[in-house]
Amino acid sequence: MTKRKTAADDRLLAEDLYSHDARRGEVVGSLSTGGQRRQGIDVERVMSIDANALRVEPPIEPGWGRSCLGYGPFPRQNGLAMVCHVLNGHNTSQSENLHEEFRYRVLRWLEGCENFSLPVRFMQWLRHPRKQRMVRRLRIWWRCRGGGRPMPPLDENLAVGWLASCETSNPVVEPGNAFVMHATGPENGELWLTGRGSSMPAVRGVQNLPIYYLVVLRETGAAFYVASLAGANGLGAFPAMRIVGIEAFDDTAQVYAAFQQSVLGQIGFRLDTRVYGTRVAHLADYQTWCGTAHAADRLCGDGALGAAERGGSWHIAGGEALRTERGLSVNGPQPLVWLEMPAPSALVNVIVRTGLLSDQTRVSLCWRVVDASNYWAVRVDANGAEVGTMQGGRWTAYSTDSSCRLPANGRLSIQVTESGEQIAAFVDGCLVGGQRLRQSRASEGYGVGVAAASAGQSLLFTDFEAHPDHVEVPSVMSFGAPWFRQGNAVVLQDNFDGDAGGLDGHRSNVGDKLWHRIMGVGHMDLTGDGAARIRATVERPNPGRTAYVVDWDSPEFADFEIEMTPPGTARGQGHHGLSGFILWQDPDNYITINIWVKDSYGGASISCFFQLDGFEDLYDAIWSNVGSRVLWGKTMRLRVVFDGARYLVMIDDEPVLFRALSDVYAGQPNMQVNKLGLLANWEWGDDTGTVFHQVIGKTDNAMSQPIE
């Protein structure tokens, strides 16, 4: 990670920490923490403030320009930055009509997860304290009911960044530089970057986690950075952040630091967004045109190329390179110019100016350069673009796209980003080939540069920049680390040794905990070969929600992990994985967390249901679509850490879902964990035989003795 010194010259221009509660509809027009007037629009009064965070509830009528909060205006300048720390309600939120009629939705709500009879469920609802929420919920269901007025198609749900107006009707296509979250379905969210009225798909598979969104303006365009929990897909690990894109051309002169929500949830589920903090500052270290680049050169001037502004001296092979007032001109049969770097680059970008072109004119952005015969490149000509490698002087293309073409008498940006082993190449924001490539960096160089063929004065390179994997979040833009707490002492471990038979009455290997069924009529059995299995098949699924638990002696905190294998081996076998764990305080208060994988959907999810204050609302479930992280027959580790107020779910150590109980229900008190254990859940179906291999429970109690 590139360290950034604390800049004494950073100037905080606006701040909102949402430190004073505000009722629904009273946020816009009030004063922020820093004394600025909160501007915007709240047509349905869905915004409020509680527990030191802005809350945005699902609108009845989805659409842009209806729920927006902004600060400003500010004049565009280098180094003007806006950060927003946000937990989006659901990154794959989209507007759509229900599959069923209104009356059937109400009946399904009353039936819930089918663990109580209808009369019992109705009495539970009458006794619980959140009945007033039902009026708005019924209005939402009526608006999106099956057979009713069609919902406007909308897959973009959140915008954060610099907008031309607090009330912009569509930040996706209007001027400004902002993040936009796009719903992908099975892969959850895709983070887009906007500028000049167009968008670039920067990160795919964004999970439902708290995220720092930082947009740093330039004289034209902006640089986009993100940070979240360590291990989060495509994001920097706070206190580091990762640059995910550069937009080079937007020149909106006056902008607002703004947050806007267009739609929340899917098919009538309730999911609130939380904003923990917003700041606007002028960052001294970002006043240069290239910001955090570890290699950069405007490429303009007069004469030989020589040294770069950052990154050392240029190497030239296969021709010559000369600076001109308008950019770098390269000539020769196959000229390549590059900078040797000591570390890999997460992003490389260059702007190309074109004149009259021939059929042989081609321009390339190069990275992982070893020498003039070995490198990766994005090559663009009048016929399209391709991404590939030059190895030993021989070109191999891995992805092609005829829609990304080199224009005559124009300009365009070429950009490549790398995250782990994932490569994405863009031509003017268009993802080449519509896909990302997976390739290891093993034994390859770190050089970055440009190349051209039949160029002459018909091509000029300008504004070349390469950025490191991670840089430090500026201290003035930090609200502290996203919550994460983990256990340090193993107090429960079970490998399910023993003879085949029922799990009820079995004692754990470590902790001497006794398993017993606390809920349901289904069964879990020891297999006799070091595992436990839900007693179920495709023909005879587990009959509804079933839970086996052990007593837990640290009610204020639990770190619980299960190693398990969903049933079946492939799609098409009819298997349904619906297993996980239960965190239990008492019969009126518990949380269930489970995987969901089924033939009927092209992905999988992690789902959470809440029995709180004696009632479970099925349509308050929280979930995250996790793509192929969960598959039939693929052994995985599912883990939750919970401190009574907040919980984080991980798959194989990757964080995928975070929530606080007060995010789900405002003012919800902390819960204790008195029991925890294994779950076979109901979620529009039942489990068909998940196998559990091991459970591990940890506390972070200093008095507990870790197991050697």
Residues 6+ apart with CB under 8 A from 128: 612, 613, 614, 615
Rounded average pLDDT over 373-394: 94
Rounded average pLDDT over 609-620: 95
On the question of pLDDT at 364 being above 60, the answer is yes
Alpha helices in 128-252, H assignment, sequence order: 133-143
**Torsion angle defined by CA atoms of residues 88, 90, 96 and 99, in that order, rounded to the nearest 10 degrees:** -150
Q: Strands, E, within 110-168: which ranges?
A: 156-163
**pLDDT for 502-524, tens place per residue?**
999 999 999 999 999 999 999 99
Q: Is 704 helix (H, G, I), strand (E, B) or coil?
A: coil
Distance, first Cα to last Cα, the chain: 34
**Contact yes or no for 451/319 (Cβ under 8 A):** no
What CA–CA distance (Å, rounded) separates 532 from 512? Answer: 17
On the question of pLDDT at 2 being above 80, the answer is no
pLDDT of amino acid 357: 81
pTM here is: 0.95
On the question of pLDDT at 344 being above 90, the answer is yes
**Contact yes or no for 177/161 (Cβ under 8 A):** yes
Residue type for 642, please?
F
**Contact yes or no for 345/468 (Cβ under 8 A):** yes
Rounded average pLDDT over 581-600: 97
Give span(s): CATH 2.60.120.560, the chain.
295-468
Does residue 239 have a cis peptide bond before it, meaning omega lies within 30 degrees of 0?
Answer: yes
Give span(s): CATH 2.60.120.200, the chain.
11-92+153-287, 489-699
pLDDT of amino acid 4: 42
Architecture in CATH for domain 489-699: Sandwich (2.60)
Does residue 73 have a cis peptide bond before it, meaning omega lies within 30 degrees of 0?
Answer: yes
Rounded average pLDDT over 228-247: 97
179: left (phi over 0), alpha (psi -120 to 50) or beta: beta
What CA–CA distance (Å, rounded) separates 582 from 688? Answer: 18
The structure tokens 């992280």 sit at 629
pLDDT of amino acid 705: 39
Rounded average pLDDT over 645-666: 97
Q: What is the CATH number of domain 295-468?
A: 2.60.120.560
Q: For 590, which DSSP code? A: E
The residues pairing with 451 across neighbouring beta strands, listed in sequence order, are 336, 364
Rounded average pLDDT over 571-599: 97
**Contact yes or no for 431/201 (Cβ under 8 A):** yes
Rounded average pLDDT over 524-533: 97
**Contact yes or no for 673/699 (Cβ under 8 A):** no
**Torsion angle defined by CA atoms of residues 331, 333, 338 and 340, in that order, rounded to the nearest 10 degrees:** -140
pLDDT of amino acid 426: 97
- High-pLDDT (> 90) share of the chain, %: 89
Which tokens sit at 428? 């003017």
**pLDDT for 413-435, tens place per residue?**
999 999 888 999 999 999 999 99
Which tokens sit at 38? 């909160």
**pLDDT for 149-185, tens place per residue?**
999 999 999 999 999 998 888 999 999 999 999 999 9
- The sign of the torsion formed by the CA atoms of 378, 379, 385, 387 equals negative
On the question of pLDDT at 699 being above 80, the answer is yes
- The secondary structure of 297-330 as a DSSP string is E--BSSEE--B-SBSSB-EEESSEEEEETTEEEE
pLDDT of amino acid 332: 80
pLDDT of amino acid 3: 46
Nearest to 334 by CA among 350, 321, 352, 319: 319
- Confidence class of residue 443 from pLDDT cuts 50, 70 and 90? low
Nearest to 353 by CA among 448, 287, 452, 424: 452
CA angle 271, 58, 670 (to 5 degrees): 40
On the question of pLDDT at 459 being above 90, the answer is no
What CA–CA distance (Å, rounded) separates 481 from 464? Answer: 33
Q: How many CB atoms lie within 10 A of CB 633?
A: 14
Rounded average pLDDT over 533-550: 97
Fold (topology level) of 11-92+153-287: Jelly Rolls (2.60.120)
Rounded average pLDDT over 266-290: 95
pLDDT of amino acid 513: 97
Rounded average pLDDT over 675-681: 98
pLDDT of amino acid 706: 36
Q: How many residues does the chain have?
A: 708
The structure tokens 């680390």 sit at 481
**pLDDT for 36-72, tens place per residue?**
999 999 999 999 999 999 999 999 999 999 999 999 9
Rounded average pLDDT over 691-699: 98
Which H or E run contains 471?
strand 471-472
pLDDT of amino acid 439: 81
pLDDT of amino acid 457: 64
Distances in whole angstroms, Cα of residue 334 to Cα of each of 1, 162, 399, 449 = 35, 41, 22, 13
Distances in whole angstroms, Cα of residue 648 to Cα of each of 139, 380, 463, 561, 645 = 32, 44, 41, 12, 11
pLDDT of amino acid 454: 74
The structure tokens 């540069």 sit at 449
b/e per residue, 656-687, with b = 16+ CB within 10 A? bbbbbbbbbbeebeebbbbbbbbbbbbbeebb
For the chain, give the mean pLDDT.
94
- High-pLDDT (> 70) share of the chain, %: 97
What CA–CA distance (Å, rounded) separates 519 from 556? Answer: 23
Name the phi and psi angles at 626, rounded to 5. -115, 15
Q: CB-side exposure of 398: number of CA atoms within 13 Å?
A: 16
